[in-house]
Amino acid sequence: MSGAARVLLVAAVVQQGASWGVLPRPACPWGRPALRPAMAAATRCCAAGASGAAPGAGGLGGGIPEHCWDAHNHLQLSRKDAEVRELVEAHQMTVSLMGTQPADWAHARALAQQLPRQIRPSYGLHPWWAHEHPPPAPGSGWMHALQTALEEDPRACLGEIGLDGQWVPPGLEAVQYEQQVAAFREQLQLAVLLRRPVSVHCVKAYGDMFDTLRTRAELPPAVYMHSWGGKLGMLQSYVKMKKFGDRFYFGFSAMANLRDTCRKTSAVIAAVPDDRLLLESDLEEPGHVVGALERMLQVIAEAKGWSVEEAAAITQQNAKVRRPVLTAPPAPYLSPALPPLLL
Ligand SMILES: [Zn+2]
């Protein structure tokens, strides 16, 4: 984005007025004990601000600008529809809900229908649950349900999908990587066929992920690497990827990205092209979102040399651009006839 365009964008946001209300402080994301230490660490790091003040209410002096876009979260899992509506209406914000497994797609859809302009659904099978849902025969099972859900809503994206080289499902003793790979490749193919952006989870699988995407004949129109935790060199490799480099977006969340040193995260954020940077919470609990976005906006603003208002406006604009655009009727889902992914 040019400097002039950014000034116009920020001016438009400021013209609409800014709200700095703060919602109650979060407890823990995902309701999974394994992630509680991560969130606790995030609240101790740069997210607390240079002053070291406790994050949350009053931690940074107060809230988020209106019209933020939380590009990746799981608010449907909270089952707190009224609180989600209150959140997006109070802050005039947009939230992109990410499906995790077939059981939550219907609720993501129902929640999005309550405020269609501000709540955007995505449907997908997260790698943490891939072992419970092996890819079915073509045209059946959860893949058929996924295609149907996407076709019924042209606004919907495909997510959350991906690879996680360190996730051991509860009750099991090893990472279920092969199942993750199978689910990821099937869903990536579907996103290409339906021309939908994908929201991608990648943990300890950066080499496989990069090789998979780099060697594809075609990719979805936008590939959103959410809560990007890869190194600076890997980020640059994605951005420069032959043929597809301009399709990659990178999001950052306080929960995943602010638990180590600020300097490392800030250097990576600074290297993301301005028009490919996204803001996200990756949270389930609506009461936690404002505090998390506030902390992340502060870090983005510092890394990029922007004001917090600029950071909010630019990431919001980038999320808008990422919306799916259907340019032709979707092709039928014919898994066996498609070229295999190289994994
Ligand atoms: Zn997520």
**Residues 87-113: what's their mean pLDDT?**
97
> Does residue 302 have a cis bond before it (omega within 30 degrees)?
no
Helix, strand, or coil (residue 302): helix
Q: Quickly state the pLDDT bin for 62 (edges 50, 70, 90).
A: low
Nearest Cα neighbor of 1 from 246, 273, 238, 305 is 273
- Roughly what angle, to the nearest 10 degrees, separates helices 206-214 and 177-194? 30
Torsions phi, psi for 257 (to 5 deg): -105, -10
Distance 5 CA to ligand 1 centre (A): 31
Distance 74 CA to ligand 1 centre (A): 6
Task: Name the percent of the chain lying above pLDDT 90.
Answer: 69
Q: What is the pLDDT of residue 321?
A: 77
Distance 314 CA to ligand 1 centre (A): 21
| DSSP state, residue 267 | H
pLDDT at 322 > cutoff 90: no
Q: And the tokens for 85?
A: 């509506």
Distance 71 CA to ligand 1 centre (A): 10
With beta carbons less than 8 A apart as the criterion, state whether 67 and 93 touch: yes
Q: What is the pLDDT of residues 217-228, one digit of tens each?
A: 999 999 999 999
For residue 279, what are the contacts with CB-CB under 8 A and spacing of at least 6? 68, 69, 70, 71, 251, 252, 293, 296, 297, 300, 311, 312, 315, 316, 319
CA distances from 85 to 71, 73, 253 (A): 16, 14, 21
Provide the residue type at 62 as one letter: G
Distance 15 CA to ligand 1 centre (A): 32
Distance 280 CA to ligand 1 centre (A): 9
Q: Which of 14-28, 31-45, 256-270 has the lowest mean pLDDT?
A: 14-28
pLDDT at 8 > cutoff 50: no
Task: Name the percent of the chain lying above pLDDT 70.
Answer: 75
Query: How many CB atoms neighbour CB 311 within 10 A?
Result: 27
With beta carbons less than 8 A apart as the criterion, state whether 247 and 223 touch: yes
34-326+333-337: CATH topology:
TIM Barrel (3.20.20)
CA distance 317 to 322: 9
Nearest Cα neighbor of 166 from 175, 158, 157 is 175
For residue 7, what are the contacts with CB-CB under 8 A and spacing of at least 6? none
The angle subtended at Cα 78 by Cα 73 and Cα 83, nearest 5°, is 90
Q: Could you tell me the pTM of the whole model?
A: 0.80
Distance 149 CA to ligand 1 centre (A): 19
List, in sequence order, every beta strand (DSSP E) within the chain.
Answer: 69-73, 94-97, 119-123, 157-164, 198-203, 223-225, 248-252, 277-279
Q: What is the pLDDT of residues 128-185, one digit of tens each?
A: 999 999 988 777 899 999 999 999 998 899 999 999 999 999 999 999 999 999 999 9
Q: What is the pLDDT of residues 195-248, one digit of tens each?
A: 899 999 999 999 999 999 999 999 999 999 999 999 999 999 999 999 999 999
Question: Which residues are close to ligand 1, an ion, with C-beta < 5 A?
Answer: 160, 282
Q: Exposed (0-12), middle (13-18) or buried (19+): which is 171, by Cβ within 10 Å?
A: exposed
